[in-house]
């Protein structure tokens, strides 16, 4: 007999019966690829890149904004340009130590760099004259120590041709035009930099990118610097910077112009760029279209999905998840927190709650290192015998960054293959779909995030899932998504509300409503463009039809 405190379990029992009916043979497939996501998500230090600076004042302003107290080491091919260097010398005087001005010796630049990096945390690299092909090729070995310096938290400030050299590609002086473009030092996360920002510079940059479709262009105006810190890029100075992607056979060129922030009320897209999102979009443009025009039918061949809209849990739901995973004695529960930081501590509230419930086997996994998630058996070992997973709340793009296409991701899908249960709330709800809604790394107001739309973990396909639905007035957002991708089934979940999915049967539980947007049906001229179902209701995801409406009984079927 079902407990009186859990009347919605009767609906789940019906779902279990329906799910045993014959259904098309499908498997929980794993076709996401590790190489379809950037391996390095951010830099640990910072890079300052200038475009046509008359002196180093903006470099010093950038270093001050990064709270760099030390006097910088300056490695330059114009050591006698005292007017340019004066602000850096003054910075050293304020720091209580003289800035070291080191003339570049191209015959031993690698040795010079190693000597200077031994005791510095801030390095300025200024190259006033165009590099020759011989210089660029002979000095390429400095890339590795500079990369280590930045990953150890160092700050690299570049100006002049050094800004372009620090990126993926540089144009050198050479006799033949075909010999002028060489690989750069590759320090700026798949970006190609041009130290100019005008029509001609952008056109030239787009031409370079056409041959490098998975890279991002950055054009920097005169008297402007951009600062790459972590994975975010912003500008200082009098001008602007343009972020560019080239056109291809399916997409027009795309650009975003950022300027220095002038007001705390400015929209972030006016002054801030998440470089990894742009890298991901560049990569996505080079892959097959997504979502496909004919997406897969929403169906879970084995196991159960529990998808919660955030803002609390329906009463008794976590206990039922544990039962679906095998019960307190047999369940092997794994929690996956949604966190941007690398260290989340030794204890997790969800794991502690499971233990208080009497769950014998409960643990968690977390990493921001995609390589570890893909190739460290000690990390993903808990998933190999897991019977239940729970994805926490936060910002869902973090899950994509950490796990998309990795061995860990494959083992998560194996939990369903074995008949286990996967659940999650808020971000942990949206991530369960193959299409990932509301995944912009900067802000969460946009439901469509170029570059991250492919980033769902794909436990169920053919749907887009949003959460906190009524509480944050997100109905119009889903309408917008449906207008762009009418082939998907839109699902919006209120807080403390869930759908429990077995095969293609979704049962609604909790205090709010679940909203279903079906663009296979005509959009009504008046009234809502969705079906809203309350607890006790159920919906057929594959047939896109209401099975049970607990509030408004369905009309009887017509008989011939």
Find the mean pLDDT for residues 6-28: 48
Confidence of residue 97 (pLDDT cuts 50, 70, 90): low
Q: Would you state the pLDDT for residue 27?
A: 63
Distance, CA of 169 to CA of 369 (rounded, Å): 26
Give 245's strand partners. Answer: 254
CB 431 within 8 A of CB 424: yes
Find the mean pLDDT for residues 106-115: 92
Find the mean pLDDT for residues 302-315: 98
Q: Is the pLDDT of residue 303 over 90?
A: yes
Write out pLDDT tens, residues 476-485.
Answer: 999 999 999 9
Distance, CA of 251 to CA of 245 (rounded, Å): 10
CB 26 within 8 A of CB 301: yes
- Would the pTM count as exceeding 0.75? yes
Distance, CA of 345 to CA of 131 (rounded, Å): 48
Write out pLDDT tens, residues 151-184.
Answer: 999 999 999 899 999 999 998 775 455 667 889 9
Find the mean pLDDT for residues 76-88: 91
CB 396 within 8 A of CB 453: no
Distance, CA of 30 to CA of 374 (rounded, Å): 14
Q: Which domains does the chain have, with CATH numbers?
A: 46-285 (3.40.50.880), 303-548 (3.40.50.880)
Q: How far is CA 362 from CA 263, 300, 385, 510, in A?
A: 47, 24, 12, 25
Distance, CA of 232 to CA of 277 (rounded, Å): 10
Q: Would you state the pLDDT for residue 172?
A: 79
DSSP H or E segment with residue 50: strand 46-51
Q: Is the pLDDT of residue 556 over 80?
A: no
Q: Please report, in angstroms and rounded to a whole number, the separation of the first and last CA atoms in the chain.
A: 39
Distance, CA of 196 to CA of 193 (rounded, Å): 9
Q: How far is CA 384 from CA 275, 375, 413, 420, 498, in A?
A: 34, 14, 10, 12, 27
pLDDT, mean over the chain: 92
Q: Determine the length of the chain.
A: 560
Q: Would you state the pLDDT for residue 4?
A: 36
Distance, CA of 291 to CA of 434 (rounded, Å): 9
- Name the phi and psi angles at 275, rounded to 5: -65, -35
Closest CA to 286 of 244, 242, 249: 249
Find the mean pLDDT for residues 209-230: 96
Write out pLDDT tens, residues 354-386.
Answer: 999 999 999 999 999 999 999 999 999 999 999
Find the mean pLDDT for residues 230-241: 97
Confidence of residue 10 (pLDDT cuts 50, 70, 90): low
Task: Count Cβ atoms below 10 Å from residue 218 Cβ, excluding itself.
Answer: 29
CB 462 within 8 A of CB 456: no
Q: Would you state the pLDDT for residue 206?
A: 96
Q: Would you state the pLDDT for residue 178?
A: 60
- Name the phi and psi angles at 262, rounded to 5: -110, -20
Helix (H, G, I), strand (E, B) or coil at 273: strand
Find the mean pLDDT for residues 453-472: 98
Write out pLDDT tens, residues 319-361.
Answer: 999 999 999 999 999 999 999 999 999 999 999 999 999 999 9
Task: Give the whole-number percent of the chain exceeding pLDDT 70.
Answer: 91
Closest CA to 185 of 235, 223, 148, 220: 148
**Burial 526-555, CB ≥16 within 10 A → b, else e:** eeebbbbbbbbbbbbbbebeebebeeeeee
């Amino acid at each position: 007999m079902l407990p009186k405190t859990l009347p919605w379990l009767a609906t789940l029992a019906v779902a279990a019966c329906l799910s045993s009916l014959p259904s098309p043979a499908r498997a929980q497939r794993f076709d996401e690829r590790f190489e379809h996501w950037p391996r390095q998500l951010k830099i640990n230090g910072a890079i300052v890149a200038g475009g046509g600076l008359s002196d180093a004042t903006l470099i010093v302003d950038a270093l001050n904004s990064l709270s760099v107290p030390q006097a910088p080491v300056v490695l330059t091919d114009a050591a006698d340009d005292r007017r340019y260097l004066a602000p850096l010398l003054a910075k050293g005087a304020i720091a209580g130590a003289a800035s070291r001005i080191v003339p570049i010796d191209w015959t031993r630049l690698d040795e010079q760099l190693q000597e200077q990096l031994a005791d510095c945390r801030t390095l300025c690299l200024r190259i006033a004259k165009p590099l020759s092909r011989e210089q660029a090729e002979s000095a390429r070995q400095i890339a590795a120590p500079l990369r280590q310096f930045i990953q150890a938290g160092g700050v690299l400030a570049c100006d002049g041709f050094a800004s372009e050299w620090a990126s993926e590609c540089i144009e050198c002086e050479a006799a033949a035009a075909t010999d002028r473009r060489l690989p750069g030092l590759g320090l700026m996360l798949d970006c190609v930099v041009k130290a100019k920002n005008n029509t001609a510079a952008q056109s030239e940059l787009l031409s370079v990118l056409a041959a490098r479709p998975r890279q991002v262009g950055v054009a920097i105006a005169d008297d402007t610097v951009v600062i790459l810190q972590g994975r975010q890029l912003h500008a200082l100075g009098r001008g602007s910077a343009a972020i560019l992607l080239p056109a291809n056979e399916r997409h027009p060129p795309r650009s975003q112009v950022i300027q220095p922030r002038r007001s705390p009320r400015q929209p972030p897209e006016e002054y801030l760029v998440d470089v990894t999102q742009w890298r991901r979009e560049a990569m996505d443009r080079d892959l097959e279209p997504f979502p496909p025009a004919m997406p897969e039918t929403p169906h879970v061949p084995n196991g159960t999905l529990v998808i919660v809209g955030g803002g609390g849990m329906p009463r008794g739901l976590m206990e039922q998840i544990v039962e679906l995973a095998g019960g307190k004695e047999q369940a092997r529960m794994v929690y996956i927190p949604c966190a941007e930081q690398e260290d989340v501590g030794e204890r997790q509230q969800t794991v502690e709650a499971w233990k208080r419930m009497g769950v014998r086997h409960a643990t968690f996994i977390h990493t921001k290192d995609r390589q570890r998630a893909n190739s460290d058996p000690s990390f993903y070992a808990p998933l190999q015998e897991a019977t239940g997973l729970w994805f926490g709340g936060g910002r869902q793009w973090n899950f994509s960054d950490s796990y998309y296409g990795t061995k860990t991701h494959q083992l998560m899908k194996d939990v369903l293959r074995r008949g286990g249960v996967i659940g999650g709330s808020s971000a942990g709800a949206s991530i369960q779909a193959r299409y990932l809604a509301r995944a912009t790394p900067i802000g969460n107001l946009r439901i469509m995030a170029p570059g991250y739309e492919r980033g769902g973990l794909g436990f169920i396909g053919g749907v887009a899932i949003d959460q906190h639905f009524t509480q944050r007035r997100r109905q119009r957002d889903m309408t917008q998504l449906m207008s762009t991708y009418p082939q998907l089934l839109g699902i919006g979940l209120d807080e403390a509300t869930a759908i429990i999915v077995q095969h293609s049967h979704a049962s609604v539980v909790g205090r709010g409503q679940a909203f279903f947007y079906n663009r296979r049906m005509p959009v009504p001229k008046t009234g809502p463009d969705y079906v809203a179902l309350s607890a006790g209701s159920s919906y057929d995801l594959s047939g896109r039809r209401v099975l049970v409406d607990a509030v408004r009984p369905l009309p009887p079927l017509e008989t011939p």
